[in-house]
Amino acid sequence: MKKEHPLQNNRVSLRLLSCLLLTLVCDILGAEEARPDLTPVISRQGALIFKDDFGGAKIGSEWKPLHGTRWKIVDGSLRGEPSTEEYQQEQIGRGNKSHSGRTPSSRLMVKTDDCIMLFRFKLTNGLSGAHFGFTDGSFKTGTGHVCRFTVSTRKGLTLQKDRNAKLKGDTDKTLATSEFNLKPDIWHWMMLEILGDQMAAQLSGAPVLKARHPRVGIHRDQVNLPTRGGGVILYDNVRVWKAIALDDSK
């Protein structure tokens, strides 16, 4: 029986060691990528209200697709795509172009009175922007969209108070802006805080936007998640906590 040369055994061992080290480094980098770099600025975290890491095959019941857009869990993240061409043409034919599903849209049905929301997201396949807003019921039973944080690859960041759908003459109002444009095709961390009539919005590497408006302080029972420009959006590591005032000792 032919014996292996000691040098050959050493080379095999080195290759195995290299493979193990590479695997370890990749695991470490992956863990760092999923580690948030944002902390609350106007409140502190209370009880955890909602959590989703998309570890299973089925989307949680709290997520509601809108306008025929298509959602599924892919590689441990939630992936949103536009509706089919057939659906879009059908809606446009009915005069409903704005809600034809040309860009992915959904809602997260979680109560968001005094809350901190943290998550990762990615814009890809040509998606140019996304809105992360809080809503008071529907336009039929509530006052509609309350406020939102808008991000874009071309038009910067905007913190906005939305119009009261029940109040005649009310309009949207820009509260704070930044010229920071996010990069497509990479993951970004985001944190949104609402405490009373205050709102703060953070995006990894971007200036913090803060604002105060009476409309922000009303009841909110869902998160509205439309996008802009066609393409695909991905969500992961979603957390919602109760927000507690910084001077509250409880």
Residue 24 CA to residue 215 CA, distance in Å, equals 49
Weakest mean pLDDT among 96-110, 145-159, 194-208: 96-110
What band does 232 get if pLDDT is binned at 50, 70 and 90?
very high
Report pLDDT digits (tens) over 43-93: 999 999 999 999 999 999 999 999 999 999 999 999 999 999 999 999 999
Decide if 154 contacts 181 (C-beta within 8 A): yes
Q: Binning pLDDT at 50, 70 and 90, where does residue 3 land?
A: low
Predicted local confidence at residue 33, as pLDDT = 53
Across all residues in the chain, what is the average pLDDT?
88
% of the chain surpassing 70 pLDDT: 86
What amino acid occupies position 155? K
Phi, psi values for residue 132, rounded to 5° = -125, 100
What type of residue is 154? R
Domain ranges (residues) in the chain? 1-33, 40-245
What is the CATH number that goes with domain 40-245? Answer: 2.60.120.560
The average pLDDT across 1-30 equals 45
Task: Examine the pLDDT at 179 and tell me if it is beyond 90.
Answer: yes
